[in-house]
């Protein structure tokens, strides 16, 4: 018995496709003829252009240009570098520059913060006049008569910050 073959190999992907299906019909419409059980490219068709794709630097996967995933990434703010690499928005040069500036400002702020010893040295006279000192941990003012008197180390901390032994 002679069987009728109802599939053919897609020359673009190497996969089998159903004769009469949407992919088969698209190939016939665009550039191919079905001859002797296979799809053959017509000579009158312009040379095929290879599909353009980009490398997702987060997943190391190829993303085809103008695909659904490609448009999702573009809407999410991804950038294309060197016409090949898809760079996530948090890794872009602009974002890195903003983060670097914030880090510089934070470092500058930390350098201007005074230590406990610097504060005590600067305001010692005024603290004595007010009959207070500052907690070494939280810098809350402590009245001299409210300080714990167990040992000298405990006198530098308020009741909540007193180090436990």
* Residue 64: inside a domain: yes
| Phi, psi (deg, nearest 5) at residue 90 | -80, -5
What is the reported pLDDT for 149? 53
Same-domain status, 123 and 106: no
Same-domain status, 69 and 123: no
What is the reported pLDDT for 4? 59
Residue for token digits 């999410």? 76
What is the reported pLDDT for 96? 75
Same-domain status, 108 and 120: no
Give residues with Cβ within 8 angstroms of 87, minimum separation 6: 57, 78, 79, 80, 81
What is the reported pLDDT for 3? 56
Over the stretch 66-110, which tens digit does the pLDDT of each residue have? 889 999 999 998 989 888 999 888 777 777 777 778 788 777 766
Give 12's pLDDT tier (boundaries 50, 70, 90). confident
Q: Which domain holds residue 60?
A: 50-112
* Residue 27: inside a domain: yes
Residue for token digits 């009245």? 143
87 in Cβ contact with 57 (< 8 Å) = yes
Query: Whole-model pTM?
Result: 0.36
Same-domain status, 68 and 103: yes
CA distance 143 to 133: 7
CA pseudo-torsion sign 119, 124, 130, 135: positive
Number of domains in the chain: 3
Rg of the chain taking only CA atoms, in angstroms = 37
Over the stretch 110-148, which tens digit does the pLDDT of each residue have? 665 677 888 888 888 888 887 888 888 777 788 777 555
Over the stretch 13-46, which tens digit does the pLDDT of each residue have? 788 999 999 999 999 998 899 999 999 999 888 8
What is the reported pLDDT for 33? 93
What is the reported pLDDT for 113? 64
* Residue 76: inside a domain: yes
CA distance 158 to 160: 6
What is the reported pLDDT for 22? 92
């Amino acid at each position: 018995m002679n069987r009728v073959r109802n599939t053919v190999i897609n020359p673009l992907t190497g996969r089998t496709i159903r004769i009469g299906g949407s992919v088969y019909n698209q190939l016939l419409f665009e550039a191919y003829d079905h001859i002797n059980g296979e799809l053959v490219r017509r000579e009158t068709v312009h040379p095929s252009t290879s599909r353009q794709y980009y490398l997702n630097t987060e997943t190391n996967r190829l993303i085809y240009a103008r695909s659904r995933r490609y448009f999702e990434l573009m809407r999410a703010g991804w950038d294309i570098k060197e016409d090949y690499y898809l760079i996530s928005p948090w890794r872009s040069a602009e974002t890195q520059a903003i983060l670097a500036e914030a880090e510089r400002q934070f470092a500058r702020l930390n350098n201007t913060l005074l230590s406990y010893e610097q504060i005590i040295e600067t305001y010692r006279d005024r603290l004595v006049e007010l009959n207070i000192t500052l907690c070494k941990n939280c810098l809350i003012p402590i009245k001299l008569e409210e300080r714990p008197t167990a040992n000298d180390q405990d006198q530098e901390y308020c009741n909540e910050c007193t180090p436990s032994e």
